[in-house]
DNA sequence: TGCCATCAACAGTAGATACTGATATTACTT
DNA sequence: AAGTAATATCAGTATCTACTGTTGATGGCA
């Protein structure tokens, strides 16, 4: 805890594949944000239209606290934006730059379903 | 078993957004598989070309055990395929439908850099 | 046949995080 | 001003998972 200096020997990829390793480091958090089914549900709901926390709570059936809890990391990653409106907070997807490849992967879901990748 | 990625059974969303919720449930495991930076690095490396476990171990600088450990869930999700070749196991991305988006992500500029979404 | 290389599976541990209930904060309403 | 609706934050717990070291299994090679 205090005796050990947390020097994670993440030797900063230096090989010819260093760029890819770095890219993975940069992109992983984005995927992680979508790796939870509840957070992904929220993002998919927002891909339809902007919604307030209350709407998200109703649509998902989750506790308000939990919805808010999941929105926090999405916010900090810049995947969603907040716009106070009245006493509600309207959430929206950030942009397409990241969601475009996501859509491509999303379309893959049917293919890989049941591990039946028939390509 | 850390290879299990599925979660506890949820009460099957029944609202008008049930389809989206279900879709999130189906899709989350895929994103989860890519949410770890080491696993994502492996996938990105495989998007370049097929590689043996040894090659992946060298390219990532990870312990062989860890690489094998990460390959297991990718295998079970059907995201990668294995082809024994001599005493090596050659891994490859499941299909082009999956390779294409991953290539796109691998070649993605630093535009989506953390919180730097300027849209 | 012994030896080595390659890879996967088996515990065990440390750290992360999803979820809950309670509380604080802000903005609208009457 | 008081009340209420809408969100966010604060602990606390339980679960999950990434990582390690070791062991086991399999396929070439001398």
Q: What is the pLDDT of residues B30-78, one digit of tens each?
A: 899 999 999 999 999 999 999 999 999 999 999 999 999 999 999 999 9
Question: B36 CB near a chain A CB, below 8 Å?
Answer: yes
Average pLDDT of chain A is 78
C-alpha to C-alpha distance for B24 and B32, rounded to whole angstroms = 12
For B40, which of A27, A44, A109 is closest by C-beta distance?
A27
Q: Which of A3-17, B49-63, B74-88 has the lowest mean pLDDT?
A: A3-17
pLDDT in tens, A65-92: 999 999 999 999 999 999 999 999 999 9
Binary contact (A21, B60; C-beta < 8 A): yes
Query: Which of these ranges, A22-31, B11-20, B69-78, has the smallest mean pLDDT?
Result: B11-20
Does pLDDT of B109 surpass 60? Answer: no
pLDDT in tens, A100-111: 656 656 555 444
Q: φ and ψ at B83, to 5 degrees?
A: -140, 105
CB B31 within 8 A of CB A109: no
The CA distance from B27 to A38, in Å, is 11
Q: Which residue has the higher pLDDT, A10 or A98?
A: A98
Confidence of residue A14 (pLDDT cuts 50, 70, 90): low
Residue B108: pLDDT above 60?
no
Measuring alpha carbon to C1', the residue closest to nucleotide D26 is: B87
Q: Compute the distance between CA of residue B72 and CA of residue B87 in angstroms, rounded to an integer.
A: 18
Nearby residues of A57 by Cβ (< 8 Å), 6 or more positions away: A63, A64, A67
Of B61, B90, B76, B83, residue with least CA distance to B30 = B76
| % of chain A residues with pLDDT over 70 | 66
Q: How far is B86 from chain A (nearest CA, A)?
A: 25
């Amino acid at each position: 805890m205090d005796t050990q200096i947390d020097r994670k020997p993440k030797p900063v990829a230096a090989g010819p594949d260093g760029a890819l390793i770095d890219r993975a480091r940069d992109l992983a958090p984005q995927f992680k944000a979508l790796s939870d089914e509840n957070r992904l549900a929220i993002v998919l709901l927002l891909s339809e239209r902007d919604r307030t926390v209350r709407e998200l709570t109703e649509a998902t059936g989750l506790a308000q606290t939990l919805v808010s809890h999941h929105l926090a990391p999405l916010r900090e990653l810049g995947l969603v934006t907040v716009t106070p409106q009245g006493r509600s907070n309207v959430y929206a997807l950030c942009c397409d730059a990241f969601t475009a490849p996501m859509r491509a992967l999303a379309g893959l879901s049917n293919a890989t379903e049941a591990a039946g990748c028939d390509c």
